[in-house]
Structure 1
Amino acid sequence: MPTKPEILKRNTVAKSRLFRADELHLKFSNGEQRIYEKLCSGGPGAVLMVPMLDDSTVLMVREYAGGLEDYHLALPKGAIDKGETPEQAANRELKEEVGYGAGKIHWLKSIHLSPAYMEHKINVLLMRDLYAEKLPGDEPEPIEVVPCNIDDLLALVMRDEVIEGRTIAALFMAKAWLESQ
């Protein structure tokens, strides 16, 4: 295992309502020095839910993405509030975004989107034994819930509107986990 570089200096170079960018001055074990930039996470983290209505039906959401300036089809996700566990946050977010709670919640994995320059990670949770329950959310418009068949997973992830890497990875993990049970 390589020796981690020494952080010589850390500066915040940009900050917005959503993001903070830090500059890291690093010294590697071979003496080389570099400056890396990274987007830092704020708060306790996030959750991404794979809500299974039944053995074949996953509930996805069509929502607006500012980075795309368009709508896309993805799994529901949201922030973990201070004091919440990932499971509590996932159940709350599912009720807010999809209108269901889960009787069974299985944590699958924490994944990072771009670890080379982003600190952000998201917890992927499989939600089963769904029951109808709606909580008010903070979305700017109603979210369209789209039932999708997970049996032909490749066809699902190859749809033009399914483009988010976290969603695609989570669907494959959930399908494999379900088949192993």
Structure 2
Amino acid sequence: MSRKYPIIHDTRKVERSRFLHIEEVDLEFSNGERRTHERLLSSGLGAVIIVPMRDDDTVLLVREYSVGLDHYELGLPKGRMDRDESVEQAANRELKEEAGFGARSLRHIGSLSLSPAYMSHVTNVVLAQELYPEKLEGDEPEPLEVVEWKLSELHHLMAREDVTEGRSIAALFMAREYLAGRYRP
């Protein structure tokens, strides 16, 4: 019987910054082939992305500056989990910090990886419903603009030049399919 996964012979730290941890991994595959791969290790306790539903068809998005692309991006509220927070607690906190709303109903509907070929980071997708106004101070350097969008118009949102973040697009699709009863985690 062949092995399901390659054998990891060794790992070495290569670089480290505040957010990035790079590691070399020496692998042996089931056919005996050996390779060294690099991977980015997650530097935190996990992350959440929130799909805040104002009603059955209206989602709240935030416009936030993205230094990687040097432009303002329209997407879902998201952030890192703090120590001793559940996925739902982190989602509700981030929602209050970024969009100025809390949620009485929070449901974890799945997880997304960014680039699993070389990154270990996973983001938890949380559907937030029964919203109420509540603002917490966050770590954003400027107030974020909150934009309402209809899930039924998701195809128009994806055509915008300021909507490129894959996790937001995937989480919106997951939420739309979940709410329509076509997807159950």
Does TM, scored on the shorter chain, surpass 0.5? yes
Q: Report 1:106-121 matches (<5 A).
A: 106-121=107-122
Name the SS for the 1:139 alignment partner: coil
| 4+ aligned runs moved over 4 Å, structure 1 | none
Q: Which residue of 2 aligns with 1:40?
A: 41
Q: Which runs of 5+ in 2 are unaligned?
A: none
- How much has 1:157 moved relative to structure 2? 1.8
Q: Deviations over 1:98-139 (max 9, x none)?
A: 000001011110110100000000000100000000011011
Name the SS for the 2:127 alignment partner: strand
Partners of 1:2 and 1:109 lie apart in 2 by 28
Partners of 2:103 and 2:74 lie apart in 1 by 21
Partners of 1:123 and 1:46 lie apart in 2 by 6
- State, as a whole percentage, how many aligned pairs show the same letter: 53
TM-score w.r.t. the length of structure 2 is 0.94
Q: 2:57 is matched by which residue type in structure 1? A: S
Q: Which runs of 5+ in 1 are unaligned?
A: none
Task: Give the aligned length.
Answer: 181
Name the SS for the 1:4 alignment partner: coil
- 1:151 has 2:130 as partner: no
Name the SS for the 1:173 alignment partner: helix
Q: Deviations over 1:25-58 (max 9, x none)?
A: 1111221100000000022100000001111211
TM-score w.r.t. the length of structure 1 is 0.96
Name the SS for the 1:176 alignment partner: helix
Q: Which residue of 1 aligns with 2:11?
A: 10
Q: Which residue of 2 aligns with 1:68?
A: 69
- 1:96 has 2:97 as partner: yes
Partners of 1:27 and 1:74 lie apart in 2 by 39
Name the SS for the 1:131 alignment partner: strand
Q: Is the 8 A contact 1:43 1:82 kept in 2?
A: no
Q: Which residue of 2 aligns with 1:19?
A: 20
Q: Which residue of 1 aligns with 2:169?
A: 168
Q: Which residue of 1 aligns with 2:128?
A: 127
